[in-house]
Amino acid sequence: MVEQAYLVLIVLAVLTTKHLIFDFFLQSLSQIKNKRIYGHRDGLLHAAGHAAGTCVAFAVITPSLAVGIGIVVAEFVLHYHFDWLKEEIGFSLKLRQDQRQYWWAFGIDQWLHQMTYLGIAFVLVAT
């Protein structure tokens, strides 16, 4: 039981580190600008990077091929839509960084990503 708890913590550390890298270090200005346009290549590429990066967690807890594919597809779809919705809301409400509502939207977006990682860790342990 203790070993499983350590594995879950390592998976979460891998996923949150992956998030830092893809959302803050590797995300291009073009991706930031175009995520609001539904179906735009830049938003899709950004979400695909996250989905691919999630595979690193599989080195810690190895899922079956079907579960692994399901996790990667779910990560892609969820990440893409969380980002698109945040950008769409920000654009529609004309939110700026000096407004509390901007930071609420940003915080909720980041929270949703972290909840996704908890879900991924749960699925990896449960299967």
CA-to-CA separations, 116 to 54, 60, 124, in angstroms, rounded = 11, 17, 12
**What's the full length of the chain, in residues?**
127
Q: What pTM was estimated for this model as a whole?
A: 0.94
The pLDDT tens digits of the residues spanning 80-91 come to 999 999 999 999
Range of the domain at 121: 2-126
The total number of structural domains that make up the chain: 1
Whole-number Å distance between alpha carbons of 29 and 5: 38
Structure tokens at 20: 């830092």
Tell me the Cα Rg of the chain: 15
The pLDDT tens digits of the residues spanning 21-74 come to 999 999 999 999 999 999 999 999 999 999 999 999 999 999 999 999 999 999
